[in-house]
Amino acid sequence: MRYTQLNDWLRWMETQHPRNIDLGLERIALVAKQLDIALDMPVVTVAGTNGKGSCVALLSAILGAQGYRVGAYTSPHLHQYHERIAIGGNYVDDASLCRAFAAVDDARGETSLTYFEFGTLAALLIFKQDAVDVAVLEVGLGGRLDAVNIIDADVAIVSSIAIDHEAWLGNDREVIGREKAGIFRPNRPAIIGDLNPPKSLLDYAVQIGAVPVCREKQFQFSEAELGWQWRGQAISGERLSYENLPYPAVLIDNAATVLQAVQYINLPVSESAIRQGLTSVSVAGRCQHIQYRGIEVVLDVAHNPASVYALRDHLSAVPAVGVTDCVFAVMADKAVAEIISIVKPCFGHWSLPPLLGNERAAQPDAVQALLLAQGISNTSLAVSFPESLNKAMSRLSAGDRLVVFGSFFTVAAAMTEIAD
């Protein structure tokens, strides 16, 4: 074994490929063949611009409530690498990760792998060796050329299609939809949660002989004050409905999509397990409310226009008693000006911290200039994230609220500071 400590593996993996993102399946498929990775349990893959993590979390909660041991693979992590690979709701330990990384390293020979490809192969290997009952895999970027797509899933979910990662996926929904559709397989269900899916997504499903299962056609939902209602179909085609469901800690759009996917996994799942999963699910960093120093803090990884609209709607639905300020840091390749325009009425003051050591991060003074261009002058800079967060907190009192958003890195930095 090259290393015995997890952090040593992670640092080494970051240096093993010339590009952090290198879409394509040839290299990872070659190593997967050497590892003899073939999952013999039901597999669900989840792609989409937003909502992937929520879908994985809710699927895991529902299937876990039924008693199945779920292997869940997600990315990126917020606080520690272990968050990416869980079995039965528990993160795998350091020793298991080190053994899996060593096996991948031995099998790859001279083949170069990215950090994400190493992690994907390790997760698949762990799920195979542990013989989980069902594997739920979040697609990292796109779909067609993402490392997770080496697996032929029994059920494929596309939660939503919006503009993001234009440098890799294209800058319109039709092009992006075709990339996401790459996870579909012939004669297998393609669960589509987007209310207005791109034509390219549907066309590809039909072209390869997948079975499109679409929101508002095969399944739908409605909301009421005391609960929500879901209507969909069983794998047999029989119509199903659930009444007065508890509201989960994820968007109802994603919950409705998950409930339809559950019907196609070909594992018995009771209505009581569905209700228990809806009640118990939680997703760190997605409209997550915590109390910190007596102030309500909302953590949200929203980093593209679609997810920022969802954050705005959430803040409107549960308004603060007092003022609402924000801590905002974002990657430079995002639609920063558009993000600002969506939520600029929400915040009284914008704290703009640096994300030190992150080369992709937008510079705080550049973000400040974009805010000023939209008439927002109530901003402040700081030399570090802790300083920015502390100054933001010092402006607030009981009944006020602070929203930390803009990136996984932003929320992770806040979580680290709060934990410390």
For 11-68, the pLDDT digits (tens) are: 999 988 767 666 779 999 999 999 999 899 999 999 998 899 999 999 999 999 999 9
pLDDT at 101 exceeding the cut of 60: yes
Same fold, 6-280 and 288-419: no
**Ordered alpha helix ranges (H), 213-321:** 252-264, 271-280, 305-317
Q: Architecture of domain 288-419 in CATH?
A: Alpha-Beta Complex (3.90)
> pTM of the full predicted structure?
0.88
CA–CA separation, 25 vs 285, rounded Å?
30
User: How open is the CA angle 91-97-99, to the nearest 5 degrees?
Assistant: 145
Q: At what angle do helices 271-280 and 252-264 cross, to 10 degrees?
A: 150
Pairing state between β 90-91 and 134-138: unpaired
Superfamily for the 6-280 domain = Mur-like, catalytic domain (3.40.1190.10)
Q: Name the residue among 408, 239, 396 with its Cα closest to residue 325.
A: 396
CB-neighbour burial class of residue 220 (10 A; exposed 0-12, middle 13-18, buried 19+): middle
| Residues with Cβ within 8 Å of residue 18, at least 6 apart in sequence | 112
CA–CA separation, 353 vs 348, rounded Å?
16
Q: At what angle do helices 94-108 and 26-35 cross, to 10 degrees?
A: 110
CA–CA separation, 46 vs 55, rounded Å?
7
pLDDT digits (tens, 9 = 90+) for 204-226: 999 999 999 999 999 999 998 88
CA–CA separation, 393 vs 171, rounded Å?
37
Percent of the chain residues topping a pLDDT of 90: 82
Tell me, what DSSP letter sits at residue 248?
A: P
Give φ, ψ of 330 to 5 degrees. -145, 160
Locate tokens 């790459």: which residue? Answer: 182
Determine how many CB atoms are found less than 10 A away from the CB of residue 106: 13
| pLDDT score for 270 | 97
pLDDT band at 168 (very low <50, low <70, confident <90, very high): very low
pLDDT band at 169 (very low <50, low <70, confident <90, very high): low
SS3 205: helix
Distances (CA, A) of 115 to 18, 52, 56, 112: 11, 20, 21, 10
User: How open is the CA angle 90-310-116, to the nearest 5 degrees?
Assistant: 45
CA–CA separation, 36 vs 31, rounded Å?
9
Domain range annotation of the chain: 6-280, 288-419
